[in-house]
Amino acid sequence: MIYLHRFSLPSEGAELHFLTDSRENRRTCYTSRYPFGIFFGREVPTLELEPVTILCGGNGSGKTTVLNLMGEKLSLRRGTVFNRSSFFGDYLDLCRAETAPAFRDAREHSRVITSDDVFDYLLDLRYMNENIDHRRRELLAEYADARYAKFQMRSMEDIDRLRQVVDAQRRTGSRYVRDRVMNDVVEKSNGESAFAFFTKEIQEGGLYLLDEPENSLSPQLQRELCSFLEDSARFYRCQFVISTHSPFLLAMKGAKIYDLDSVPVRPCPWTELEHVRTYWKFFHEHESEFED
């Protein structure tokens, strides 16, 4: 499914016209006019988007900037703030986005997901688990007190205490605690929790802008994420625009890849990307070490 058909950045001429406008020359208190100038000299074409489109390039190539511009132009939900100068809105006004009619219904499920969102989720889980550990210790102390208490009911006001004592005497300590503490918090590694975050946040029928989703994921989990995204695009009417360095995600079936390092910026096969070739050369140099 395609909700966002095309996205274009301002031409160099449009940027220069804005920057040389007499009204803007009076704005001398700013040292940065980001994102103006970040794509100068690279001839970025109108991005023609597919169900899966990937933006690839080195650090500083503008991958995240493009995702942020898309997200703001389409007013997509996002969790964390991002770097934007006082000129971001001016630059955004010069960008153009062409959406399909179906995007009106998909907007509710669409969002920007960054590595900061995943990191915040992991911190929330850690905080929750720490509180649950504290609650477990309290419940174990409560269990021991109730199980070995010399209790005699004297009035109806003691009914709750009676129930607690009887319950403790009928159960093991672990069962007593497990039945009272949250059952839906599972202790997982950071990578497993990060993967679970994506499967929870990505729903059917939405446009998702993913900024380096491979962060915190092992190679095996990156492959599993790749399969999950492929299935979501193929069977569940999702569209993805992804910024990534991961060769596992770059090899995604049917993905259209824009190399932001090339001049002009152009679509290319994942096997032609410079950093993928770097991986290939590294493993080729060590090929003999993999032989049985």
pLDDT digits 0-9 by tens, 191-222: 678 888 899 899 999 999 999 999 889 999 99
Domain boundary among 178, 199, 229: 178
In this structure, the answer to whether residues 174 and 225 fall within a common structural domain is no
Q: What pLDDT, in 10s, does the model give residues 155-193?
A: 656 566 666 666 666 666 666 556 655 544 555 566 678
Q: How far is CA 177 from the centre of its chain?
A: 34
Question: 136 vs 76, which has greater pLDDT?
Answer: 76
In this structure, the answer to whether residues 12 and 156 fall within a common structural domain is no
Query: The tokens 């989720």 sit on which residue?
Result: 121
Task: Identify the CA nearest to 100 among candidates 181, 223, 4.
Answer: 4
Task: Identify the CA nearest to 56 among candidates 223, 243, 226, 262.
Answer: 243
pTM confidence score: 0.78
Judged by DSSP in three states, 201 sits in: helix
Mean pLDDT value of segment 130-139: 61
Give Rg (Cα) of the chain. 27
How sure is the predictor about 133, in pLDDT bands with cuts at 50, 70 and 90? low
Q: Which residues contact 18 (CB under 8 A, 6 or more apart)?
A: 10, 24, 36, 90, 94
Which residue range is the domain that position 147 belongs to? 118-178
In this structure, the answer to whether residues 195 and 67 fall within a common structural domain is yes
Q: How many domains does the chain have?
A: 2
Domain-embedded: residue 133: yes
Looking at residue 155, its pLDDT comes to 60
Q: What pLDDT, in 10s, does the model give residues 25-57?
A: 545 555 578 899 999 988 899 999 999 999 999
In this structure, the answer to whether residues 30 and 160 fall within a common structural domain is no
Domain-embedded: residue 77: yes
Looking at residue 42, its pLDDT comes to 87
Q: Which residues contact 58 (CB under 8 A, 6 or more apart)?
A: 261, 274, 275
Task: Identify the CA nearest to 76 among candidates 259, 241, 235.
Answer: 241
How sure is the predictor about 67, in pLDDT bands with cuts at 50, 70 and 90? very high
Q: What pLDDT, in 10s, does the model give residues 8-27?
A: 999 999 998 888 874 555 45
The CATH number of whichever domain residue 104 belongs to comes to 3.40.50.300
Domain-embedded: residue 171: yes
Looking at residue 184, its pLDDT comes to 46
Task: Identify the CA nearest to 204 among candidates 101, 77, 78, 108.
Answer: 108
Looking at residue 168, its pLDDT comes to 64
In this structure, the answer to whether residues 17 and 29 fall within a common structural domain is yes
In this structure, the answer to whether residues 157 and 171 fall within a common structural domain is yes
List C-alpha distances in Å: 30 to 24, 86, 87, 227. 11, 8, 9, 45
In this structure, the answer to whether residues 109 and 248 fall within a common structural domain is yes
Domain-embedded: residue 185: no
Average pLDDT, the chain: 83
In this structure, the answer to whether residues 273 and 151 fall within a common structural domain is no
What does the block give as tokens for 131?
């509180």
